[in-house]
Amino acid sequence: MRRVYLDHSATTPVRPEVLEAMLPFLKEDALGNPSTIYSYGREAKKALDEAREKVAYLIGARPEEVFFTSGGTEADNLALIGTAAANEKKGRHIITSSIEHHAVLHTAQYLMRQGFKVTFLPVTPEGLVRVEDVEEAITDETILISVMHVNNEVGTIQPIKEIGHLARERGIIFHTDAVQSVGKIPVDVDELNVDLLSASAHKIYGPKGVGCLYIRKGTRITPILHGGGQERKRRPGTENMPGIVGFGRAAELAGKELPHEMKRLQALRDKLIDGILERIEDVQVNGDRENRVATNANFSFRYVEGESLLLSLDMKGICASSGSACTSGSLDPSHVLLAMGIPHEVAHGSVRMTLGRDNTEADIDYVLEVMPEIVTRLRAMSPLYNK
Amino acid sequence: MSRVYSEKVMDHFTNPRNVGEIENPSGVGEVGNPVCGDIMRLYIQVEDGVIKDCKFKTFGCGAAIATSSMVTELVRGKTIEEALQITNKAVAEALDGLPAQKMHCSNLAADALHKAIEDYRNKNKKVS
């Protein structure tokens, strides 16, 4: 059976070139602890520095502003909790959006329980944060604004540059969760006016368990982990050498291939969206079609439920994901779709397909071939469908 | 993902038995609502106190469709009294079990059946 992986926003496979770069640090070079003085350690230090340069280059930062973490979730936690702790004397108000990843959303809720006030900004029906809403939410107490760069479910690209400009004018620290944008669209911390930025390796064909937080020089932040002096005391713990080296290599390749891949994937993605809309009735595309990352397609198929669609797709070898409650283990469908004002029953029928470097035009043709029969079959069973 | 479900669940999801509607049914039972992401509508045809036919239409996840299909198989040929003995547990067991977070789907199927029987009984009260 043909296998088509369309869940690249969940995770991506490690590229062979990345694996090759990592292997020595799991084998002969595994003795290298960058904190030691002997030759193994010096070599490890050199590899660590090189990886930091590569990641910094991809996001337009200086190497000394990149701090490796265990992934995007830790980077988000450090950004929010670390900023809150370091700046609480200035104020205790934080602004974020209602469509953030749970790594930000749940951390913000944790801070609320610690006595911080948090504003969760609404979004437009297209899934975009309005700069005016950010401006209105700012108070004298505001110490941090955190808005994601690209939404993981609907792929919308948020007006980070404009929000960052506003934050800078008001002297407020600005964080962006860029886990879904780094390597997929050009990211430059200076152009975006951000002070803090989270990134993750496994979304760009690197290994799981490694990511980073960019911290602009001069930004006050308190560590959330305590131990040795690694990562300039911001993030203690012996460095995950194979992971970090893999992240560096993945970042290097992503940067190099970005302009070409972006164009290629956008064409495939548009073919997918247009093809589905042409072939199937009562389908809507969730999320703005213009301000959208090239890899994301998100549909709601009316009258059918998302998990049934995913199971049916899986039987045809197609891997996708859904914002349906049944796939999340909770009773509510995706908080992102609900925040966009999409009714529960429509959100339950959502399917996200996210493209990546292994996808070809033949993959899209295959999806377009099997999808109509899957939807027709499920609709024939649905008491909501009366056609 | 299909590994989450037993082979029996996948079989009933892929080839659901008794999908459809019954014209002028003896009873209809509907449970759930689209907000929760599950709606099950069950039709029964009763003759001489025996459920001769049972059909369903379901909007829901794989487990919801499979439990609907299974309950229609379980009740066909049963008397009303026998059908009332069918519990959500029996539906789940007949499917070789359901994942813990999907047990509510089997509740829906049993509830839909009991509602259809109730509907049948109410209609018959009016006649007599």
Which CATH number is A276's domain given? 3.90.1150.10
Domain, as residue range, for B89: 2-121
Average pLDDT, chain B: 91
Q: How many domains does chain A have?
A: 2
In a domain, A386, yes or no: no
> How remote is the C-alpha of A325 from its chain's centroid?
20
Residue ranges of the alpha helices (H) in chain B? 7-14, 62-75, 80-84, 88-94, 103-127
Mean pLDDT for back-to-back runs of 10 residues, chain A (387 residues) = 95 97 88 80 92 98 98 98 97 98 97 98 98 98 98 97 98 98 98 98 98 97 94 93 98 98 98 98 97 98 94 96 72 90 93 97 98 97 90
CB contacts, 8 Å: A304 with chain B = 59
The structure tokens listed for A80 are 């929010």
Distance from CA of B61 to the nearest CA of A (A): 5
Task: Mention every residue, 6+ apart, whose C-beta is less than 8 A from residue A284.
Answer: A299, A300, A302, A346
In a domain, A387, yes or no: no
User: What is the per-residue pLDDT for B33?
Assistant: 80
User: What is the per-residue pLDDT for A328?
Assistant: 58
Q: Which of A314, A333, A380 minimises the CB distance to B37?
A: A333
Which CATH number is B91's domain given? 3.90.1010.10
User: What is the per-residue pLDDT for A331?
Assistant: 64
Q: How many domains does chain B have?
A: 1
User: Residue A158 carries which DSSP code?
Assistant: P
Residues A89, A70 share a domain: yes
Residues A330, A272 share a domain: yes
A–B CB contacts, 8 A cutoff, strictly below:
69
User: What is the per-residue pLDDT for A128?
Assistant: 98
Predicted-complex ipTM score: 0.91
| pLDDT one-digit tens code per residue, B95-118 | 999 988 787 777 889 999 999 999
Do A344 and B35 lie within an 8 Å CB cutoff?
Answer: yes
User: What is the per-residue pLDDT for A1?
Assistant: 85
Binned at pLDDT 50, 70 and 90, residue B4 comes out as: confident
Do B61 and A305 lie within an 8 Å CB cutoff?
Answer: yes
Residues A272, A240 share a domain: no
> pLDDT > 70: what percent of chain B?
95
User: What is the per-residue pLDDT for A326?
Assistant: 66
Q: Which of A310, A333, A380 minimises the CB distance to B1?
A: A310
Q: Which of A326, A332, A358, A385 is catalytic?
A: A326
| pLDDT one-digit tens code per residue, A279-322 | 999 999 999 999 999 999 999 999 999 999 999 999 999 999 99
User: What is the per-residue pLDDT for A327?
Assistant: 62
Residue with tokens 């830790």: A74
CB A193 within 8 A of CB A170: no
Domain boundary among A253, A269, A293: A253
Domain, as residue range, for A176: 16-253
Domain boundary among A206, A234, A253: A253
Q: CB contact, 8 Å: B66 with chain A?
A: no
> How remote is the C-alpha of A143 from its chain's centroid?
23
Domain boundary among A253, A287, A317: A253
Residues A332, A282 share a domain: yes
Residues A98, A178 share a domain: yes
